[in-house]
Amino acid sequence: QNKKILLEKLEKFKPTVLHCLCESKASLTRQLARQLGLPYVLTVNSLQKRFNQLSISSKRLAKIIVPAESIAVNIAKVYPRFAERIEQVNIGTFASKTTGCFSKPGQLASMVTAGPLRSESDFENLLGAVKHLAIDGYEFMLVIIGGGRAESGLRKLLTELGLLQIVTIVPRLEPWRTVLAAGDIFIQPVPDNAFNPLLLEAMSAGAAVAGCKGGVDDLIIEGKTAIAFDPDDELSIYNSLRRLLDSHELARQLAGGAQQHLRENHSVSKMISSILRIYHNANI
């Protein structure tokens, strides 16, 4: 019934192309495109697996839009017959003119990590590194933003490690950009199989990034936009965070480098013009 109502509304609107922004709606968009006799565009924001493939129409699909090269390579392997229809369109953002990272001398260093709390194991190595930084005399605070099934277990782990005075868990807050801008360091503790918009926003706001390679890691360029660590190695995480805490100059250099990278490769105007061009060409 809901699909019928949607179809009726679309028919009244008379679109010339459909754009599926969510992979979970790929099948619905394919059906709507067939019923309306329209071409469609599909955005894929995460790495795909061969045994769980998307429903794609070879007749009506005009383009597969991806936000990162790693996803483009993955899609080409999983869907080789659609390889020529893949186009990378970088998500646009507005990089701040100033770098907020360690901009206020004497202020307590703050670190932020954000995302769904799926498993305590995602944070065990990070929290182990944080504990040893505290033991070694570093003064800072860590804010974990998010919620999920692992939250209660994570709070228990914080108690066991004696980190309740240093680490706090808060729910997702709005606006995201303001929250992320308040942190000196943004941490991506585990690989992400989807493009992480929070990482993009943290960089644009001027935070120094410490992140792990793996998954969709295109934004993490060692020595240019971030400092990288091995997510399975607590010592690697410790050393990366220690370098940023020891050298505010290095942290600000990386934060500024990330902002410049975004200005050059993730402008909003380029994103909009690319998408409009794809819409136009879909009807040719």
- Rg of the Cα atoms in the chain: 21
pLDDT value for 284: 76
Asked if 163 and 132 touch (Cβ cutoff 8 Å), the reply is no
> Per the structure block, which two tokens stand in for 80?
């080789």
H or E element that contains 229: strand 227-229
d(CA 214, CA 233): 14
Which of 197, 190, 194, 206 minimizes the C-alpha distance to 172?
Answer: 197
Q: What is the DSSP letter of 98?
A: S
Collect the ranges in the chain with pLDDT lower than 70. 1
* Amino acid, res. 121: S
Report pLDDT for 1.
67
Determine the pLDDT at residue 182. 81
HSE-up of residue 168 (Cα within 13 Å, Cβ side): 8
The predicted model scores a pTM of 0.93
Q: Look at residue 3 in the predicted model and tell me its pLDDT.
A: 86
Say whether 173 sits in a helix, a strand or coil: coil
Amino acid at 284: I
Q: What whole-number distance in Å separates Cα of residue 214 and Cα of residue 126? A: 16
- How far apart CA 66 and CA 229 sit, in angstroms, is 26
Question: Cβ contacts of residue 22 below 8 Å, gap of 6+?
Answer: 43
Domains by residue range for the chain, with CATH: 2-92+267-282 (3.40.50.2000), 109-265 (3.40.50.2000)
pLDDT above 90 as % of the chain: 89
Whether 218 and 225 have beta carbons less than 8 Å apart is answered as no
Residue indicated by tokens 């949607």: 6
CA angle centred on 99, ends 274 and 145, rounded to 5°: 80
